[in-house]
Amino acid sequence: MFNKILIANRGEIACRVIRTAHQMGIRCVAVYSEADADAMHVAMADEAVCVGPAASKDSYLKMDTILQVAKDTGAQAIHPGYGFLSENAPFVQKCQEAGVVFIGPPADAIKAMGSKSAAKRIMEDAKVPLVPGYHGDDQDPALLKKHSDEMGYPVLLKATAGGGGKGMRVVWSADEFTGALDAAKREAMNGFADDTMLVEKYLTKPRHVEIQVFCDQHGNSVYLAERDCSVQRRHQKVVEEAPAPGMSDELRTAMGEAAVRAAEAIGYVGAGTVEFLLDEDGSFYFMEMNTRLQVEHPVTELITGQDLVEWQLAVASGQTLPISQDDVQINGHAVEVRIYAEDPDNDFLPATGKLEYLRTPEENRYVRVDTGVREGDEVSIYYDPMIAKLIVWDENRERAMQRMSQALTEYRIAGMKTNTHFLKRLIDNPAFRNAELDTGFIEKHETDLF
Using CB under 6 A, which residues numbered 183 to 202 contact ligand ADP? 200, 202
What residues from 282 to 321 belong to the interface with ligand ADP (CB under 6 A)?
A: 287-288
Q: Select from 231, 439, 442, 445 the one that contacts ligand ADP (CB under 6 A).
A: 439
Cis peptide before 430 (omega within 30 of 0): no
| 322 lies in the binding site for ligand ADP (CB under 6 A) | no
HSE, CB side, 13 Å, CA atoms: give it for residue 26.
27
The residue among 426, 293, 423 whose CA lies nearest residue 361 is 423
Length, in residues, of the chain: 450
**How many angstroms separate the first and last alpha carbons of the chain?**
49
Is 208 one of the binding residues for ligand ADP (CB under 6 A)?
Answer: yes
What minimum distance in Å lies between the beta carbon of 441 and ligand ADP? 10
User: Are the C-beta atoms of 18 and 81 separated by less than 8 Å?
Assistant: no
Q: Indicate which residue of 10, 16, 169, 292 is catalytic.
A: 292
Q: Site mask, ligand ADP, residues 225-244, x = CB under 6 A?
A: -------x--x---------
Work out the widest C-alpha separation in the chain, in whole angstroms. Answer: 62
Which residues does residue 413 pair with via DSSP β-bridges, in sequence order?
358
Concerning whether 399 is annotated as a catalytic residue, the answer is: no
Residue 131 or 225 with smaller CB distance to ligand ADP: 131
Rg (CA), the chain: 21
Measure the CA–CA gap between 181 and 170, rounded to whole angstroms.
10
Whether a cis peptide bond, with omega within 30° of 0, leads into 344 is no
Number of residues that bind ligand ADP (CB under 6 A): 19
Candidates 74, 90, 141, 164: give the one binding ligand ADP (CB under 6 A): 164
User: Residue 442 CA to chain centroid, in angstroms?
Assistant: 19
Q: What is the distance between the alpha carbons of residues 81 and 60, in angstroms, rounded to a whole number?
A: 11
Per CB under 6 A, which of residues 258..287 are in contact with ligand ADP?
A: 275, 277, 287
CB of 50 to ligand ADP, least distance (A): 32
We find the least distance from the C-beta atom of residue 163 to ligand ADP, in angstroms, to be 4
Q: Which is nearer to ligand ADP, 287 or 449 (CB)?
A: 287
Q: Quote the CA–CA distance of 440 and 429 in Å, as a whole number.
A: 15
Identified binder of ligand ADP from the candidate list 11, 80, 106, 162, rule CB under 6 A: 162
Per CB under 6 A, the list member of 156, 211, 242, 404 interacting with ligand ADP is: 156
Residues assigned a catalytic role: 292
**Interface residue list for ligand ADP (CB under 6 A):** 131, 156, 158, 162-165, 200, 202-203, 206, 208, 232, 235, 275, 277, 287-288, 439
